[in-house]
Amino acid sequence: MLLNRIRWTCGLFLSAVLGCAAAHAAEVLPGAKHVKIYYEPGRFGGWPANHGIWAWGNEILVGFSRGYYKDLGPERHNIDRDQPEDHLLARSLDGGESWTLEDPAAKGFLIPQGKSLHGTETPGRAIPALAACPGGIEFTHPDFALTVRMSDVDAGVSRFYYSYDRGKTWQGPFRLPDCGTPGIAARTDYVVNGKQDCMLFLTAAKRNGREGRPLCVQTRDGGATWRFVSWIGEEPAGYAIMPATVRLSARDLFTLIRCKEKDASWLAGYTSRDNGLTWISHPKAVADTGEGNPASLIRLQDGRLCAVYGYREKPFSMRARLSKDGGDSWGEEIALRDDGAGRDIGYPRSVQRPDGKIVSIYYFHDPVTGPERYIGATIWNPPPLP
């Protein structure tokens, strides 16, 4: 570990000496507060976007992965795949100012189907089989939470869980059907329409079996059955993955899609005016995300849309853009922070507190903390409406 830290520090020093230019800088937002949710020497915290975020006033719950740090070079995720990986939750009761960790797997939840594989889950814990959901889920329950996850064991198989007590206990895992696709790699992105009516926004394999193409599916019987609603956009030459979706009105939806083709990576916007049946493509909401990063997307109290994403080129940063017209156009980029020590950052999720401040959560590493990836939060005020 000491040798890895020395190598990492020397790499930062050489970059500074060589004067590597900031190719795409954005002005850093003044007054933003950065909080560490999870940091542990020798460990790796990652990917809140894969797990989900939920909020009840100033109570915030977020999921993430915890593994072991391993120096695999600047082009890879520095997580040791030969060591176990846990799926944890962090809870704040004060609007993101302080956090406590929770391990739902200790109660037998949030563990996928399959064998206890070294390097994917905690060895020795029982792994329940995926069951068919009996239905009757009350999506409008005041303390409801839903998480949708892909399997590390069976390619194209995904699962979901739900909670009625703000994530303290969970029901599941329930199998998510493939809805006629070649296989689904699910992350948590959903819109509740009614008591037993919910839409999921997912990524499926393309016809050639490669990653990936976004789609919308829906249940109207509390999760017992799910039907295919629509593809979001045409099948891409590269990939289009990881939707982040909000409802704009009784019939209008807007989603941001992480896209990549050859060396270009961007965030594309799509609007549906008919509850997800068809989608209208917009100009790129974010034309450049470096090597690529998914967005978090929320609708603010003043009606604007807020997108937060990682920028995976120098200066490695967490950024945001705001839209006051439902995603038709976007304001200037805002850098929430630009002190990243490398490209392995981002995958954010965000909520807005009752006082109007935004809490954006992501994984990160910086020159001061060291090479381990940690889960951080930035608490910030969105600029006022012009």
pLDDT per residue as tens digits for the range 332-355 = 999 999 999 999 999 999 999 999
State pLDDT tens for residues 138-159.
Answer: 999 999 999 999 876 556 789 9
pLDDT at 347: 98
Task: Indicate the average pLDDT of the chain.
Answer: 89
Angle at 297 between CA 304 and CA 211, to 5 degrees: 145
Residue 144 gets the label, from left (phi > 0), alpha (psi -120 to 50) or beta, of: beta
Q: How many Cβ atoms from other residues are within 10 Å of residue 114's Cβ?
A: 16
Q: What is the mean pLDDT of residues 84-97?
A: 95
Is the previous residue joined to 354 through a cis bond, with omega within 30 degrees of 0? no
How far, in Å, CA of 16 to CA of 366, rounded?
Answer: 14
State pLDDT tens for residues 315-333.
Answer: 999 999 999 999 999 999 9
Q: What is the mean pLDDT of residues 41-66?
A: 97
Residue at 207 is within a domain? yes
State pLDDT tens for residues 222-234.
Answer: 999 999 999 999 9
Question: 14 pLDDT band (50/70/90 cuts)?
Answer: very low
Angle at 266 between CA 263 and CA 269, to 5 degrees: 150
Residue at 137 is within a domain? yes
What are the residues facing 255 on neighbouring strands? 245, 270
Residue at 105 is within a domain? yes
pLDDT at 43 > cutoff 90? yes
How far, in Å, CA of 176 to CA of 131, rounded?
Answer: 9
In terms of Cα–Cα distance, which of 375, 342, 381, 330 is closest to 74?
342
pLDDT at 110: 57
Residue at 77 is within a domain? yes
Residue at 385 is within a domain? no
Residues in the chain: 386
pLDDT at 6 > cutoff 80? no
Task: Give burial (CB, 10 Å; 0-12/13-18/19+) of 239.
Answer: buried
Q: What is the mean pLDDT of residues 72-84?
A: 90
How far, in Å, CA of 111 to CA of 109, rounded?
Answer: 6
Judge contact between 104 and 110, C-beta under 8 A.
yes
Residue at 266 is within a domain? yes
Number of domains the chain is built from: 1
pLDDT at 255 > cutoff 80? yes
Amino acid at 173: P
pLDDT at 121 > cutoff 70? no
Q: N- to C-terminal Cα distance for the chain?
A: 50
Residue at 243 is within a domain? yes
How far, in Å, CA of 279 to CA of 230, rounded?
Answer: 9
Which is it for strands 184-185 and 197-205: parallel, antiparallel or unpaired? antiparallel
What is the CATH number for 325?
Answer: 2.120.10.10
Quote the tokens at residue 188: 């948590």
How far, in Å, CA of 363 to CA of 365, rounded?
Answer: 7
Structural domain including 17 reads 2-380
pLDDT at 113 > cutoff 90? no
State pLDDT tens for residues 176-209.
Answer: 999 999 999 999 999 999 999 999 999 999 999 9
Beta carbons within 8 Å of 319's beta carbon, 6+ residues apart: 26, 286, 308, 309, 310, 311, 333, 334, 335, 336
Residue at 386 is within a domain? no
